Amino acid sequence: MYTVRCTRRLLRRMGTDISHEDLVPTTALGDWYANQLNVGSIRLVHFMSDRSLLSVIVPFKTIKTVTERHLVALRDLLEALGLDPSVIDAELNEMHSYRIGKTQSRSALGSMRDLALNAWWIIESNPQASMLEIGYQLAEVPCGPLGMAYPREVATALLVERHD
């Protein structure tokens, strides 16, 4: 169980009810923040783990299926990062139960903004980059709130500690 913490802008686009209940996430990667990311005419949704700052980018397409596409893209990214399939399966099984809520952390939003700028630059410099390539490159960006560690390292440590 976790909460997809959407920005106001994305919540308006989703048009779904939000949960006002504050639940502690049972997933290793914690809650996921989500925001719309526009790069020129390209419409994307940026998901970011609040514990590891690992980012997953998915096409906006149909907003009703965005959380399902997030899980598929997360599986692809975790496989690309070299995690054991049993660890990936355990985390994704925990993630099948979620709620939609408002953002809570200004620090997480600041990190998300920084990573979104990096994503914008990646897409602008390589328009043919796949969503997986963008997520992989963002996993290699050192982040201040992590003590300049990489989201890849933090996510891997959290997942292995919890599910191994």
* Model confidence pLDDT, tens digit, residues 100-117: 999 999 999 999 999 999
Banded pLDDT at 19 (limits 50, 70, 90): confident
Sign of torsion, CA 68 96 73 48? positive
Contact 76, 159 (CB under 8 A): no
| Domain encompassing residue 136 | 2-163
Longest dimension (CA), the chain: 42
The CATH number covering residue 69 comes to: 3.30.420
Domain count, the chain: 1
pLDDT mean over 152-158: 98
**Beta strands 42-49 and 55-59, pairing class:** antiparallel
Q: How many CB atoms lie within 10 A of CB 28?
A: 22
The Cα 15–Cα 148 span in angstroms is 36
Collapsing DSSP to helix, strand or coil, 39 comes out as strand
CA dihedral 23, 25, 30, 31 (to 10 degrees): -40
Q: Work out the pLDDT band at 164, boundaries 50, 70, 90.
A: confident
- In this predicted structure, the answer to whether residue 61 has a pLDDT above a threshold of 90 is no
Looking at the chain, the whole-number percentage of residues with pLDDT higher than 70 is 100
Q: What is the mean pLDDT of the chain?
A: 95
Confidence check: pLDDT of 1 > 90:
yes
Residue range 133-157: average pLDDT? Answer: 97
